[in-house]
Structure 1
Amino acid sequence: MRGAGLAGRNRWRRGAGLVLAMLAILPGCAALLPRERSVAERIAALPQAGLPLQRPVTIRWNPHLVPWIEASSDADLAVALGLVHGHLRGAQIALLRMVSRGRLAEIAGPLATEIDHALRILDFGRAAPEIERRWPPETRDFVSHFVAGLNHAVLHGPRPPEYGLLGLRREPFTPADILAIGRLAGTDINWLSYFSLLAERGQPGFARHWQRLREAGAGTARPAGEAEAALGALLQGLSRSGSNTLAIAPARSASGAAMLAADPHLGLSLPNLWLLAGMRSPSFHAVGMMIPGLPILGLGRNPDLAWGGTNLRAASSDLFDVGRLPPEAFAEREVTIRQRLWFPARRQARLSPQGPVVTDATVVPSRPGETIALRWAGHEPGDEITALLRAARARSGAEFAASFAGFAVSPQNMLYADRQGHIGRVTAALLPARRGFPAADPVLDARDPAATSPWERLRDATTLPRLADPPEGVLASANENPALWAKDPPPIGLFFSDGDRVARLRALALARPKLTPADLAAIQADTVAPKAAVLAAGLLARLDALPGGAPEPALLAPLRGWDGDYAAGSRAALVFELLLGRLVPALQPEAGGRGPETSWNFLTTFLLRDLDALPPARREAVLRAAVAGAAPLAARHRDWGSVHRMRAAHWLVNLPLLGRAFVLGTWPVGGSRETVMKTGHGLVTGPHEVSFGAMARQVSDLADPDANWFTLFGGQDGWLGSAAFADQLPLWRAGQGIRLPLQPATVAAEFPHVTVLRP
C-alpha cells in the first residue's frame, strides 16, 4: 500500500507539473519567444519620470550595459543604483525575495510547498528588525534611498518577460526584504552536510563515517529525495561557497604597485549572481561587483584600494537536540503558504532557545522522534551592509580591515591590496567562541551549558585571525583551512577546500619574479590540479604491480607522466576521471556514487589508503574492474572536453517541459573540481554539464586607477532577448575582461551612452 501511494503521489506530481507548465505558457510567451533588444533600447526603457532625486544624476553606459553613475549626493547615488538594479535584474531580484521569504509555491504551486515550509522555518529575515534598529544613520539613509530607486524600476518600468511565465506580481520592496536577500546569500554551506547527516546518526558505521568526514574535511551533501535535493540545490546555488583571491605586493609586481585578482565561484546560471557598476558621489568612488538587490560592492576597487574575498567555509551554525526541553521553552507560529493554482497551505514553525526547529520541515531528514534546532550567526544582528559600505570607502588596508567589525555571514576571507603597497587578509565572520568541535556527533545537547555558552561570546573580525604584508609578497585564498596560514587559529570550521587550489595559486604567483595583470588573468584560467597527478601516479603504481602488469596499457598510456592538467583537449584527464568514476563506487558501495565519499577531499585523503587496506585479491578485482569499465567509455570520447561541457542557460531551464527553451548553448571546457579555473563536477561516467564554478573575474593594478578588468559569465542584463544578456561569454571563455576605469576622462571615453536622471 505504501508503494502504491508513493507511485500515485509521483504520478500526481508529474501531472501537476504538466498542468502548471501548460498554464504557464499562456501568459509567458514573451519569455519563451523574447524579442531582441539592443543596448540602446534597453537604456531608453529605463523609467525616469518622477524619480525621488534631489539633483540630476548622470549614468554613463558602456557597450556591455555596465552603468557608471555620477551623483552629487550619496542619497541620489543610492536611488540611481536601486533604479539600475531593478531595471537590469528586476525578475532576478523578485525571485531572490521569493526564495528568501519562502514563497516559491506562489510560482510552482504545491510542488514547492514543503520547500517553502523549510525556508519559513529557516527565516532569513528573522534578524532584520533588530539590524534595522541598530543601523547607523548613514546606512539607514543609503538603504532607504536604494530601495526607493529599486521600487521605482519595479513599479514603473517595463514588466520583465519572466513575470508572466512565473505568475509574479509587481510588489514594492522593503529594507527588510533587502536584509532577507542578503542573509539568503550568506547561507551557511555546512547546512547541506549537517542535514544529510541527521538521518544517518545512530546507524551502524556512523561513527567511522563522521570520523572520516572530519579527517578529510569534506562536507558534500547527499540528497535523499526530490524535495531534499531541490532544497539543497537551491541553497548551494545561491550561497557564496567558493572563490579564489590573490593579492600581490609591489615587490612582485611589474608595475611596482600592489595588485589583486579575484574570481568568485557560484552556480553557473544566467543572469549572473553578480552585477557590474561604477559610482561616484561625495563618499563613494569605486567600481566592482554587486549582488542584485543589495546596495553594496562585494568585490571592487576605489582609488586607494582593491579587494576581493573567498568563502571562509566556517561553521557559522550548530545543531542542537532540543527534544528534552520543556514545552514552554518553544514559541510556535502558524505560517500560511500561498500556492499557485491551489488553496493556501498552513504549517507550523517552532522557535527554541537554540534557534528554529529544522526537523519540523519534512525536507530535512532526521531520525524519528528527534527534535533538532539550528543556531545560526545569520539570526544574530550582525551588519554586513554597513561593513561593506565602509569597506568601499576605505582609504587604506588598515581602514578596510576595521570595516568588518560586526560582519556576520557568510563568513569570508577578505583580501586587500592598497596604494601604499600593503596587502593583507581579514577573517570577516561572526562565530561562537568554541573550544572545539564534537568528536562523536554533530548534534549538541541544548541542556549542556558547555555547548550553548559559546553562543553568548561571539567572535568577529576584531578577534579572528588576520595577516598583513607576508615576507614573500603573495597572499592567496581558496577556501582553505585557516590553519594553513594562521598561527594557532581558534576552532573555525570542519569542512574546507582540499588545499590544491591555494597551493597552485601560490606556486603560480611565486614562479615569476614580476607579475603583470595579464599574468593574473592567465592564473585565473589555470586548469592544473597537482594532486590529480599524484593520484594518477599512485593508481598506475598499483596497476603496474598487478600480476602480469597493468591491464589495457593503451588506455593508461596518457596517464604516464601526466601533470594533472585538465585542459579541454587532455586525453589523460578523461581517462583519469573515467577510472575514478568506476573505482570510487566499488570502494564505497554504500555511498551510491555520490555524497562526501566522492568529493575531492575524500579522494585525496582516502582513495589510495582504502585501496591498500583491501585484501590483495579484492584490490586486484576492484582495479581490474575499474579499468575494464572505463575502457569502453574512453573509446567513445576523444578528450576531457568531449564529456566536460559548460552550459549557458537562463535559470528558467529548471522549469518542467519548457526548460530546454532557455539553453543558449554548450561547449567543451577545461578545469575540474579543484583547479584554479574551477568547473565543478561529480564522478564522471560520460558527458555531463558543469553547473558550479568560476562565474566572474576581477583583476586590478593599483599603479593605475583605470587598470581594473571585470568579466561575468553571461552578461550584465537579465532581460531575456537583450543584446547584453550573454555578450560577455566570449570574453569569459577567452580570459579577457571589460575595463572599469576610475578616472573621469577615461569613463567619459569608454562609457559613451549617457542618461541624465532628473528629479
Structure 2
Amino acid sequence: MFPGTTTLDRRIAALPKDGLALDAPVTIRWNDNLIPWIEASTDRDMFFSLGLVHGHLRGAQIALLRLVARGRLSEVAGPFAADVDHALRILDFGRAAPEIERRFPPETREAVDAFLAGLNHSVRHGPRPPEAGLLGLSREPYTVGDLLAIGRLAGTDITWLNWFSLLAERGQPGFAELWQRTMRAGSGTTDPGSRQAALLHDVLGGTGRAGSNSVAVAARRSATGGALLANDPHLSMNLPNLWLVAGMRSPSYHAVGFMVPGLPFLAVGRSPDVAWGGTNLRAASSDLFDVSRLPPGDFRTERVTIRQRLWFSARREVRTTPLGPVISDAALVPRQPGPLALRWIGHEPTDEISALLRGSRAHTVAEFRDAFRNFGVSAQNMLVADRAGSIAQFYAATLPDRRGFPPGDPVLDGSDPAATAPWGRLRDAGELPFIRNPPEGVLASANDRPGQEAGVVGYFFSDGDRVNRLRELLAEHPRLSPADLMRIQSDTRSPKAATLAATLLARLDALPGGAPQPAFLAPLRGWDGDYAAAARAPVVFEFLLAKLVPQLLPEQRRANGGEPRGAETGWNFLTTFTIADLDALPPERRDAVLRDAVTTAARDAAPFAAWGDVHQLRAANWLVNLPVIGSRFVVGTWPAGGSRETPMKTSHGLVSGPHQTSFGSMARHVSDMADPDANWFTLFGGQDGWPGSPAYADQLDLWRAGRPVRVPLRPEAVATAFPRVTTLAPGR
C-alpha cells in the first residue's frame, strides 16, 4: 500500500493545533476507528473544529471534490479530462452560490464561516495528504462558493445520466418506442460510450446521492419501546468512503451521523430527539429545452480556460440562456439537431445547508419537516422518527409544478410558454405529501415511485423490488428490534428475480420435449431470489438472462449486430418487458430463442459454482485507475452477495462472466430512540482518507460481517467509547 503505514496515535497527533481561531478550549474524543466526537462551548468553535477534522481526515478527497465541482479535473488528470471539464463548466455547480450565500440566515453564515476557517487551517498547517504530490495538489484555500459547489455536485439530478444515454438514440429509428418503453418501465440506465463519457458518468453517478434504503418503525411496533430508524445509502463503493461519521455537541447542536466530506452538516443521523435519513426521490429536478427558436440575444457566451496538467491550457466556450446552460455544446453529450438547454433546480438559490442544520436541531417530526421548506437538491424521500415514538415521511424537494411529461420525447420546446410555465411556480416540502404514523406502524423507502398524491414527480424510479422486500421483512415480526433492522440491511433476496425465474422455467417446461439442460436449470426450481454469495441459482438465472435478452431485440437490430441499449439492460426493463417480449415472438422463434439461450448459458456458466465466483467486490482507492502504480491502491477483492435491487444492493448489468460491482450499499446507520446511546454506523472502508492509516479500511470486515460501530450521545458513554482525547486551545 502506498504510502507507508502509520498509527492511530500518530494520525491524531498530526492534527494541526497551533494558532487556532477558537474562543475557548474544545475537546475532540476519538474511538478506535478514528471517529471524532467534538465537544465545544460555542457553536462557532464546534464548526471550526469540524472543518479542521474534515480537512485532516479527508483533505485530498475534499480537494478532488472541489476540482470536480469546479470543472478542474484536467489540473490533475491532464488533457484526457478536458472534455469532462468542459461538460462540468457548462453544468456549473457553483452557479447559484453567490445568491445562496447572500441569503444565508445568520446562524448558517456563522456555521459555514467557522467550518471554512477550520478547513482552511488544516489546508495551510496540516500535513500534506499522500496523494498531493502524486496529483499535484496545492494548499489552495476554500471559499464559501467552493463548499456550495461541492454540495450541488452531491445533489446531481439522476435524470441527467439517463438522458445522456437516451440522447444518443434520439433521432434514430425506433427512438419513440424506446422512450415510451423507458417511460413505462420507469427507469433507464446509462451506457457511457467513450472513456471520457464513462468518466463523466462515474463522476456524476458516484458523487450524487443516487440510491438508498430507509425504514422507520413506530414505537408501538418496536421491541424496545422507542421508534427505530435505519438507513443505508447507495453510492460509489470506493475508498475513501463518500461519508464520514462524526459526533458533536455545542449549545445548539447535539447529534451523531454521516457527513459529506467538506460540508458542515449531518445528512443522515440522530439527535436526542430526532433520527433521520433519506433516499433519493429520483425526482426530475430538471428539464431539457430545445432553444433553437430563441432569439440570438438570449444566448450569452463566455470563454473559459481549462488548465491542463503537463500541457497547455485549453479554451472552451460556455453558452447560457434564460432556460439554462446549453448542455449540448459539451462534446460528451450526444450531438443533437439543435442546441439543448438544461433547466435545473440546482441553479436556483435553494438552501440545503440551512435545512439540514435546522433539521438536526428539531425536536419533533413536524419541526423536522418544517426545516426543509427551501431544500432543493438532491430531492430526498425523507424518513424521520422522534423521541415521542412517532415516525413520518415527506419529500424534501423543490420541483416545477408540472402536469405531465412529454410522451414522445424528453426534450421540450423552449419557445413554447406552456412548456416553460411550470418553472414559474415551484413546489417545496411544505406542499408535497406528509405521512405521519401510518396504521402499519412502519415506513419504507427505496427510490420507489411516489403515490399519486405527490403529483408529477419524475420518470425514473426503482421498480419496487427493494421496497417490497423491505416491507415484507418489516411484516415478519409484530415487534422489531435494532438487530432486525441490521439484518434487513444485509438481505440479499430479490422477489422479482424469483418470479421472473419461475416464469421463464414455465416457458421452458412448455417446450416440446420439456426444458433443455435440466441439470443446469435445477437450481432455479423453487429459488426464492436469494443472491447469496454461495448460491448457484443466481449464476444460472443471470447467465440465462444475458443470453436471452439480446435475442429479444427487434430483428433489424439483431441483424446489424446490435446489443441491448443502456436502458434495455436495467432491472426495470428486464422485469417489465422480458416475458412480454418473449411471448410476443412467433412460437417457433420463441422456442428456438429459449433453447439457444439455455444451451449457451449452460456452457458459459459451467466454470462458476456460486454467485460469488462471478460477482466480486473490490475495495480500492479511486487511484486504482492510475497506470503502473494503480494496483498498489487495491485493499482486497471478495465474493459478494446481493444484486441490482436487493436490499443489500451491489449493482451490476447483464452478466456474461466475472465482474466487479462498484455501486451499492456503502454505509449503514441504525438508531433506537429509546436509548440515546443506541446508534450504530458502518462505512465500506473507514474514517481516514490517509492510505496507510489503521482507520483507512478497518471497517471493511465489520461491514462485510454486518457488525456496526456504536456511536453514543450521552457524555459518559462517549467518554468510555472514545478514550483518546485531543484538546484544542485558542491560538494567539
Q: Secondary structure at the match of 1:472?
A: coil
Matched, 1:159 2:124: no
Question: Which TM-score applies when normalising by structure 1?
Answer: 0.95
Residue range with higher mean Cα deviation, 177-186 or 460-469: 460-469
AA matched with 1:622: V
Q: What residue in structure 1 maps to residue 416 of structure 2?
A: 448
Q: What residue in structure 2 maps to residue 137 of structure 1?
A: 106
Matched, 1:578 2:546: no
Which of 488, 491, 514 is the aligned partner of 2:456? 491
Q: What residue in structure 2 maps to residue 409 of structure 1?
A: 377
In 2: Cα distance, 1:146 partner to 1:592 partner: 50
CA contact (8 A) 1:221 1:596 kept: yes
State the Cα deviation string for residues 468-488 of structure 1 (Å, max 9, x = none): 1101100000000002xxx53
AA matched with 1:265: H
Q: What residue in structure 2 maps to residue 529 of structure 1?
A: 494
Matched, 1:66 2:35: yes
Task: Note the C-alpha offset of 1:692.
Answer: 0.3
Task: Note the C-alpha offset of 1:366.
Answer: 2.2
Which of 476, 479, 493 is the aligned partner of 1:511? 476
Q: What residue in structure 2 maps to residue 544 of structure 1?
A: 509
What pairs up with 1:586-601 in 2 under 5 angstroms? 586-588=551-553, 590=557, 592-601=563-572
What pairs up with 1:623-642 in 2 under 5 angstroms? 623-642=594-613
AA matched with 2:416: D
Q: What residue in structure 2 maps to residue 341 of structure 1?
A: 310
In 1: Cα distance, 2:311 partner to 2:605 partner: 49
Q: What residue in structure 1 maps to residue 677 of structure 2?
A: 706
Q: What residue in structure 2 maps to residue 421 of structure 1?
A: 389
Q: What residue in structure 1 maps to residue 649 of structure 2?
A: 678
Residue range with higher mean Cα deviation, 223-232 or 298-307: 223-232
Matched, 1:115 2:84: yes
Q: Secondary structure at the match of 2:360?
A: helix
In 2: Cα distance, 1:415 partner to 1:543 partner: 43
In 2: Cα distance, 1:42 partner to 1:711 partner: 20
Matched, 1:472 2:440: yes
Which of 683, 687, 691 is the aligned partner of 2:662? 691
Which of 151, 155, 158 is the aligned partner of 1:189? 158
Task: Note the C-alpha offset of 1:593.
Answer: 4.0
AA matched with 1:750: A
Task: Note the C-alpha offset of 1:653.
Answer: 1.0
Matched, 1:732 2:697: no
Matched, 1:251 2:220: yes
Task: Note the C-alpha offset of 1:633.
Answer: 2.1
Q: Secondary structure at the match of 1:91?
A: helix
AA matched with 2:218: A
Task: Note the C-alpha offset of 1:616.
Answer: 1.1
In 2: Cα distance, 1:635 partner to 1:113 partner: 44
Matched, 1:382 2:353: no
Task: Note the C-alpha offset of 1:645.
Answer: 0.7
CA contact (8 A) 1:593 1:683 kept: no
Stretches of structure 2 that go unaligned for 5 or more consecutive residues are: none
In 2: Cα distance, 1:517 partner to 1:68 partner: 23
Q: Secondary structure at the match of 1:414?
A: strand
In 2: Cα distance, 1:727 partner to 1:221 partner: 33
Q: Secondary structure at the match of 1:289?
A: strand
Q: Secondary structure at the match of 1:98?
A: helix
Matched, 1:288 2:257: yes
Task: Note the C-alpha offset of 1:226.
Answer: 2.1
Which of 362, 366, 381 is the aligned partner of 1:398? 366
Which of 9, 13, 24 is the aligned partner of 1:55? 24
Q: What residue in structure 1 maps to residue 522 of structure 2?
A: 557
In 2: Cα distance, 1:433 partner to 1:565 partner: 41
Stretches of structure 1 that go unaligned for 5 or more consecutive residues are: 1-31
Task: Note the C-alpha offset of 1:198.
Answer: 2.0
Task: Note the C-alpha offset of 1:635.
Answer: 1.4
Q: Secondary structure at the match of 1:47?
A: coil
In 1: Cα distance, 2:144 partner to 2:199 partner: 28
In 2: Cα distance, 1:691 partner to 1:625 partner: 31
CA contact (8 A) 1:287 1:302 kept: yes
Task: Note the C-alpha offset of 1:659.
Answer: 1.9
CA contact (8 A) 1:154 1:171 kept: yes
In 2: Cα distance, 1:632 partner to 1:607 partner: 22
Q: What residue in structure 2 maps to residue 19 of structure 1?
A: none
Q: What residue in structure 2 maps to residue 77 of structure 1?
A: 46
Matched, 1:431 2:431: no
In 1: Cα distance, 2:540 partner to 2:502 partner: 13
In 1: Cα distance, 2:603 partner to 2:173 partner: 37
What pairs up with 1:217-296 in 2 under 5 angstroms? 217-296=186-265
CA contact (8 A) 1:588 1:597 kept: no
Residue range with higher mean Cα deviation, 646-655 or 586-595: 586-595
| Root-mean-square deviation (Å) | 0.9
CA contact (8 A) 1:241 1:313 kept: yes
Q: What residue in structure 2 maps to residue 314 of structure 1?
A: 283
Q: Secondary structure at the match of 1:393?
A: coil
Task: Note the C-alpha offset of 1:86.
Answer: 0.1
Task: Note the C-alpha offset of 1:192.
Answer: 1.0
Task: Note the C-alpha offset of 1:199.
Answer: 3.1
AA matched with 1:635: A
In 2: Cα distance, 1:214 partner to 1:82 partner: 43
Residue range with higher mean Cα deviation, 142-151 or 589-598: 589-598
Q: Secondary structure at the match of 2:454?
A: coil
In 2: Cα distance, 1:279 partner to 1:366 partner: 49
CA contact (8 A) 2:210 2:280 kept: yes
Q: What residue in structure 2 maps to residue 300 of structure 1?
A: 269
AA matched with 2:27: T
State the Cα deviation string for residues 51-88 of structure 1 (Å, max 9, x = none): 11110000000000000000000000000000000000
In 2: Cα distance, 1:244 partner to 1:143 partner: 29
CA contact (8 A) 2:2 2:633 kept: no
AA matched with 1:669: A
Task: Note the C-alpha offset of 1:594.
Answer: 4.8
CA contact (8 A) 2:274 2:387 kept: yes
State the Cα deviation string for residues 108-128 of structure 1 (Å, max 9, x = none): 111111110010000000000
CA contact (8 A) 1:594 1:683 kept: no
Q: What residue in structure 2 maps to residue 749 of structure 1?
A: 720
In 1: Cα distance, 2:708 partner to 2:693 partner: 20
In 2: Cα distance, 1:200 partner to 1:618 partner: 27
AA matched with 1:451: A
In 2: Cα distance, 1:730 partner to 1:126 partner: 41
In 1: Cα distance, 2:425 partner to 2:115 partner: 34
AA matched with 2:186: G
In 2: Cα distance, 1:303 partner to 1:226 partner: 47
Matched, 1:614 2:585: yes
In 2: Cα distance, 1:335 partner to 1:304 partner: 48
Q: What residue in structure 1 maps to residue 692 of structure 2?
A: 721
Task: Note the C-alpha offset of 1:634.
Answer: 2.0
Counting aligned pairs with the same residue, the percent is: 67
Q: What residue in structure 2 maps to residue 174 of structure 1?
A: 143
CA contact (8 A) 2:234 2:664 kept: yes
Q: What residue in structure 1 maps to residue 427 of structure 2?
A: 459
